[in-house]
Amino acid sequence: MGQEEIQCCEENLVHTGAVRRVRELLPPDERLYDLAELFKIFGDSTRVKILYALLEGELCVCDIASLMEVTQSAVSHQLRVLKNSKLVKFRREGKTVYYSLADSHVIQILDQGMEHVLEPV
């Protein structure tokens, strides 16, 4: 599959009305920065795998470590990142901490992402 050439305007003509309209509709830079940071979290396949595992229900760190064949320390680190990004939540039962997806938005993000990846080119 070859790389397609990027198409550019043949003449330098800015459509000021369109630019003004879009500029007014763009979210503030701070919101766009927050969104970009959220997408960075999904840029790590280990974190995505943890999120997919949690689609099936809540799991403790031991369960996730066993499933992924990594150390509990490695899982704990990734869960901390996911928790700080409000993608997972936890509950404590005695000495065991169970993790689950924070809300339905996380499921929607994963579903939409997978749907996009599976689209034929």
Q: What is the pLDDT of residue 3?
A: 62
Is there a domain that residue 46 lies in? yes
Write the pLDDT tens digit of every residue in 79-116.
Answer: 999 999 999 999 999 999 999 999 999 999 999 999 99
Locate 55 and state its tokens.
């689609």
Is there a domain that residue 16 lies in? no
- Number of domains comprising the chain: 1
Is there a domain that residue 98 lies in? yes
- Parent domain of 106: 29-118
Q: How far apart are CA 71 and CA 7, in angstroms?
A: 48
pLDDT at 10 over 90: no
pTM value surpassing 0.85: no
In this structure, what are the phi and psi dihedrals at residue 47, rounded to the nearest 5 degrees? -65, -40
Locate 38 and state its tokens.
């959220």
Within 10 angstroms of residue 110's Cβ, the number of other Cβ atoms is 18
Q: What is the CATH classification number for the domain harbouring 98?
A: 1.10.10.10
